[in-house]
Amino acid sequence: MTLPRGTYTFGVIPLHPDIVRVLNRDGLHVYFTGFTARVARPAGLSPNALVTLAETPRGIAPRIAAWYPMGASEGQAFRYSDVTP
């Protein structure tokens, strides 16, 4: 799915720390729930940077590669499936 421009809330599901939900700013609408893998914050990435984006071809919306909670040394890398019908 492609997220429209906006502000989102990311969060780990408490009993399943490798599942992340992406919600609207108010936390009332779930846009995405997916599997992730814990990863270290890349060296040099600002402690205020919340996401990293994957490289994509021109004209294609970039994927969120990983989410890093504010100031955390670890984040969650999203696992994508590239299966097409």
Q: pLDDT by residue for the chain (85 residues), tens digit each?
A: 788 888 999 999 999 989 999 999 999 999 999 999 999 999 999 989 999 999 888 988 888 999 999 989 999 999 987 644 4
Closest CA to 32 of 65, 56, 8: 8
Please report whether residue 5 resides in a domain: no
**Domain total in the chain:** 1
pTM for this predicted structure:
0.82
What is the C-alpha to C-alpha distance for residues 31 and 51, in angstroms, rounded to an integer?
16
Please report whether residue 44 resides in a domain: yes
Closest CA to 79 of 49, 54, 42: 54
Range of the domain at 66: 27-85
Please report whether residue 35 resides in a domain: yes
Please report whether residue 10 resides in a domain: no
Tokens 């809330």 -> residue: 9
Please report whether residue 13 resides in a domain: no
Please report whether residue 85 resides in a domain: yes
Residue 35's contacts (CB-CB under 8 Å, 6 or more residues apart) are 18, 19, 78, 79
